[in-house]
Amino acid sequence: MTQLSTADKSTDTQPHPQQRRQTAGERANIPPRRMDFEFAEQTPRYWYRNSPFLTTFWSTLSSLFPEGETFFVDSVRNFRKDITDPLLKDQISGFIGQEAMHSKEHQAFNDLAEKHGLPANKLDKELGVLLRFARKILPAKHQLAVTVALEHYTAILAEQLLRDPSHQANIQDPEALKLWMWHALEENEHKVVAYDVYRQVGGGYLHRIFTMLVVTLFFFAIVGSGHLRLLAADKKLFDIKGNLKGFWYLWGPKGLFPKLLPQYLDFFRPGFHPNDHDTVQLLDDWRGKMLSPGGLLADQIRNPQRS
């Protein structure tokens, strides 16, 4: 009988360096990626298309993410114990991990906005008060339905950014571009999770679309008022020409948001599912562009082996 040498025995009993145990999120292809964005003092004040109106609009959205993403996590976590499907349980873990990182990194971005004199953290704190009230008065399933509706918004906005090169080119600060592209990638990686949890726990069609209608009213009221406040803080509220130009870019007949109307309305189909908007190849392409050696996030990500 051939015996193993001492070296062979040692090698045979040592764990292979690539035999790292996968996290639940990795098994579900929703890996939480640890980022650590740092926004320099010299980051352009108007980093989106050199436009005060458009920059303050996206800054308004960012200001709502820390508290908003925390609400999303809590609403899904409320039902984790009720889920028996192993894949969906893994997806929930990935969802929670990704959204927690989004809250952290957008907080850093909001701190940059504060340095530019924009009260982003105040908007976030006020949203936190509203969401804590919602947690007290709304049943858990209603909170989950709110998350389903808002996750549809974030998914279609994120997909648009990933698909539209001119949209990407308008983000004129490299670090800001990394933040928004990373966020867009992960929003589409986990876009089915809240929806599938909602269906698994008995969420129905009428409840879903009624919630979307109510959420839409609140969403535009909160974002619109926050945007006006940031414009006022920036002393650009009465820049009529610049504001009309920015408004037209967002809401004109060929603007960013009218292009999203079909995807938004698709949510109201009885048989709708987030995967009806096929982003499999899109995400594969962008994982390569972002995470491969030399990619957009190659020097940014703190746990590249998990990506």
Whether residue 275 lies inside any domain: the answer is: yes
What is the model's pTM?
Answer: 0.90
Query: Angle at the Cα of 103 (from 145 to 173), degrees rounded to 5?
Result: 120
Q: How far apart are CA 260 and CA 266, in angstroms?
A: 10
Query: Contacts from 262-266 at CB under 8 Å and sequence distance 24+?
Result: 263/156, 263/159, 264/152, 264/153, 264/156
The reported pLDDT for the residue numbered 57 is: 98
Overall domain count for the chain: 1
Residue 276 has a pLDDT of 96
Per-10-residue mean pLDDT of the chain, 307 residues long, equals: 41 50 89 87 92 98 96 97 96 96 92 94 97 97 98 98 97 94 96 98 97 97 98 98 98 96 97 96 96 87 58
- Asked if the structure places residue 29 within a domain, the reply is no
Distances in whole angstroms, Cα of residue 117 to Cα of each of 38, 62, 174: 18, 15, 21
Residues 6+ apart with CB under 8 A from 208: 145, 148, 149, 198, 267
pLDDT at residue 13, rounded to an integer? 44
In a domain? residue 10: no
Bridge partners, residue 171, by sequence? 48
39 and 175 Cβ atoms separated by less than 8 Å: yes
- pLDDT for the residue 12: 43
Residue 24 lies inside a defined structural domain of this protein:
no
Question: Is there a domain that residue 21 lies in?
Answer: no
Give the pLDDT confidence score for residue 303 in this predicted structure. 61
Q: Is 11 within the bounds of a domain?
A: no
Q: State which residues form the domain around 100.
A: 50-306
Predicted local distance difference test score (pLDDT) of residue 20: 65
What does the block give as tokens for 287? 């994982």
Is residue 224 a part of any domain in this protein?
yes
In a domain, 26, yes or no: no
> What pLDDT shows up at residue 1?
40
CB 201, CB 92: distance < 8 Å? no
